[in-house]
Amino acid sequence: MADEVFLKLKGIKKSFGGVHALNGVDLEIRRGEIHCLAGENGCGKSTLIKAISGVHRVDEGEIWIEGKLCNKMNPIDAINKGIQVIYQDFAVFPNLTVAENIALNGEVKNKTKLVNWKEIHRVAAEAMAQVGAEIDPDVKLEQLSVANKQMVAICRAIINDAKFLILDEPTTALTAREVEKLWTVVRALKEKGIAVMIVNHKLDEIYQIADRLTILRNGAYVSSGPIHEYDQARFTRDMTGRDISQEKYLPKASEEEIFRVENLSLPGAFKDVSFSVHKGDVLGLTGLLGSGRGEIGEALFGIEPAQSGHIYLNGQEITIKNVADAIHNKIGYVPEDRLTEGLFMDRSILDNTIATSIRKYFHGIKLDKAAMEEATDRWIREIGVVTPSSKPAVRTLSGGNAQKVVISKWLNTDPKLFILNGPTVGVDVGAKSEIHAILRELAQKGIGIIVISDDLPELLQNCNKIVVMRDGRVAAVVDNSIEQKELSDLLMGRAE
């Protein structure tokens, strides 16, 4: 039935300078469906969302909303047509309260001014009841967790009579429980007939929530259909244009110890943590938020050093009291919050890639520019950064491609121990497998690799040894023959 279709896109094209971000996209969104928009980093997902929501004007193609051609929308027009987008930064006002944040957005739509405190509360309470959120309306937004900020953003969206809600990578900063909660809310919206489109790089989450999906590659439409028509092999093939190995990493056991910690403790964070990394090991470090998994990474890089215990690298005991110590010992660290900690957004890919290894390129007082370019080009090629050259500012890259630059930067320092916290958050399946192939190669060469993550399928495929943290302690060390369910039980501390 024609009126079941809320949005229809035909042959959408959009370029930035010489870059064809969108190069022929078709998309159909039906009322009350949960639609996943999938594709590799830089394939144009976020750009397409901006086109649908009136932020970008398209160069070519047709945007049909409820049977009307709507090519010339601005963002307010899009809101009036019931289109609401929740970007990764949520665009909420940190200094206002929960209630104010929710109610204020309604003013835009209804062109009324809510000055009355009671009215603001009533509107906010109604919106929260609709999604089943229970958040204190008088708390300032800046005090909320990421998950609750997102709930407020969703509440804001639905009081504007949203018919179509778009979530761009909504789960990147959420814990497993928070993701469950988000899916409950999304299903409730679906029940009300609201269409929801989600961009997400985690395949297992897509299988949990999506009814249908559309896949893009290099800015163009590849395929679309109900989720049950896509097994994992087809899914990844459509996204990447090639077959991605699903094989588990099983290196030969080696006696050669690269790295070891003994009874590492930091009060309030972790206690008596011991584990070792042998040659060839890609070690996974996992646990729920608050289990101490991230804190161990930060301690080993000297951000918040451990207070007691021993650290051995290549047979020698080392002391790490600060970041300078870690760098001196050739420890590399890819932080979790890459956009604030990892990159100079306005500098070029090249500047960022050589930022931490610039010393290598000095010959006397002269910089060896050719060597710098060669190294950067090599990483761009090997990790597959989607960019015409090493010159563009990192700000112009898509999210996943920016993450690849962070990884390049640390690889370029020739680390002896490489710690990656959430290395592939926001990275597409193809690039994930490329990054993991590089990590394996490094492990085989005798570089210690520690991957901190809560992405269980990824850990099971790529780490041959997994340290499970719970309440600041090592709860178990397992190999990757364990089932995902078992691993998840270990994380949660559920009895067998």
User: Footprint of Mg ion on this chain (CB under 5 A)?
Assistant: 46, 399
- Rounded to the nearest whole angstrom, what is the least distance from the CB of residue 13 to ligand ATP in the complex? 12
Q: What is the smallest separation between the CB atom of 88 and ligand ATP, expressed in angstroms?
A: 9
Q: Report the partner that residue 41 touches, choosing among ligand ATP, Mg ion, none (CB closer than 5 to 8 A by kind).
A: ligand ATP
The least CB distance from residue 230 to Mg ion, in Å, is 21
What is the nearest approach in angstroms of Mg ion to the Cβ of residue 399?
Answer: 5
- Residue 396: name its binding partner from Mg ion, ligand ATP, none (Cβ under 5 to 8 Å by kind): ligand ATP
Cα–Cα–Cα angle for 451, 147, 496, rounded to 5 degrees? 55
Residue 16 interaction partner, one of Mg ion, ligand ATP, none, beta carbon < 5-8 Å per kind: ligand ATP
Return the one option of ligand ATP, Mg ion, none that residue 14 interacts with (CB less than 5 to 8 A, by type): none
In this complex, which beta carbon is closest to ligand ATP, that of residue 305 or of residue 400? Answer: 400
CB of 400 to ligand ATP, least distance (A): 3
Closest approach, Cβ 3 to ligand ATP, in A, equals: 30
Supply the minimum distance, in Å, between the C-beta of residue 16 and ligand ATP: 3
Give the nearer residue to ligand ATP in terms of CB position, either 42 or 448.
42
Residues 6+ apart with CB under 8 A from 475: 287, 468, 469, 490, 491, 493
Concatenated DSSP letters of 101-146: HHHHHHHHHH------HHHHHHHHHHHHHHHT----TTSBGGGS-H
Binding partner selected for residue 42 from Mg ion, ligand ATP, none, CB under the kind-specific 5 to 8 Å limit = ligand ATP
223/132 Cα distance (integer angstroms)? 35
CB-wise, 99 or 199, nearer to ligand ATP?
199
User: Least Å distance between CB 240 and ligand ATP?
Assistant: 13
Q: Which of 420, 422, 457 is nearest to 440 (CA)?
A: 420
Say which amino acid occupies 271: K
Burial class of residue 483 in the structure, from the number of CB atoms within 10 Å of its CB (0-12 exposed, 13-18 middle, 19+ buried): exposed
With CA atoms as reference, report the closest residue to 37 among 215, 204, 228, 172. Answer: 215
Minimum CB distance to ligand ATP smaller for 65 or for 427: 427
The option from Mg ion, ligand ATP, none interacting with 102 (CB < 5 to 8 A, set by class) reads none
Taking the least distance from each CB to Mg ion, the nearer of 127 and 343 is 343
- Locate tokens 């080993």: which residue? 300
Q: Kindly calculate the radius of gyration of the chain based on its CA atoms and give it in whole angstroms.
A: 24
Binding partner of residue 292 among Mg ion, ligand ATP, none, CB cut-off 5 to 8 Å per kind: none
Q: Residue 399 or residue 472: which is nearer to Mg ion going by CB?
A: 399
Q: Shortest distance, CB of residue 41 to ligand ATP, whole angstroms? A: 3
What lies within 8 Å, CB to CB, of 317 at 6+ separation is 310, 311
- d(CA 477, CA 275) in angstroms, rounded, equals 8
Return the number of the residue (168 or 281) whose C-beta is nearest Mg ion: 168
Q: Residue 282: phi, psi to the nearest 5? A: -110, 105
* Cα separation, 144 vs 224, whole angstroms: 37
Alpha carbon distance 55, 49 (integer Å): 9
Residues found near ligand ATP in the complex (CB under 6 A): 16, 19, 21, 39, 41-47, 386, 396-401, 428
Task: Report in angstroms how near the CB of residue 39 gets to ligand ATP at its nearest.
Answer: 6
Helix (H) or strand (E) holding 10: strand 5-16
Q: Which is nearer to ligand ATP, 153 or 402 (CB)?
A: 402
Phi, psi of 137, rounded to the nearest 5 degrees = -65, -15
Which pairing describes strands 83-86 and 164-168: parallel, antiparallel, or unpaired?
parallel
Q: How far is CA 96 from CA 58, 100, 126, 142, 160, in A?
A: 35, 6, 18, 8, 19
Between 364 and 388, CB nearer to ligand ATP: 388
Long-range (24+ apart) CB contacts under 8 A made by 226-229 are 227/36
Residue number, nearest CB to Mg ion:
46
Q: Which does 47 bind (CB under 5 to 8 A by kind): ligand ATP, Mg ion, none?
A: ligand ATP
Helix/strand/coil for 409 = helix
Query: Residue 422 corresponds to which tokens in the numbers above?
Result: 């959430």
Alpha carbons 41 and 446: distance in angstroms, whole number: 30
Picked from ligand ATP, Mg ion, none, the partner binding residue 472 (CB below 5 to 8 A depending on kind) is none
**In the complex, minimum distance from the CB of residue 239 to Mg ion, in angstroms, rounded to a whole number:** 14
> Which CB atom, from 390 or from 480, has the smaller least distance to ligand ATP?
390
Q: What gap in Å lies between CA 306 and CA 424, rounded to an integer?
A: 26
Residue 418 beta carbon to ligand ATP: minimum distance, rounded to whole angstroms: 22
> Based on CB atoms, which residue is closest to ligand ATP, 335 or 384?
384
Cβ proximity to ligand ATP: between 21 and 439 the closer is 21
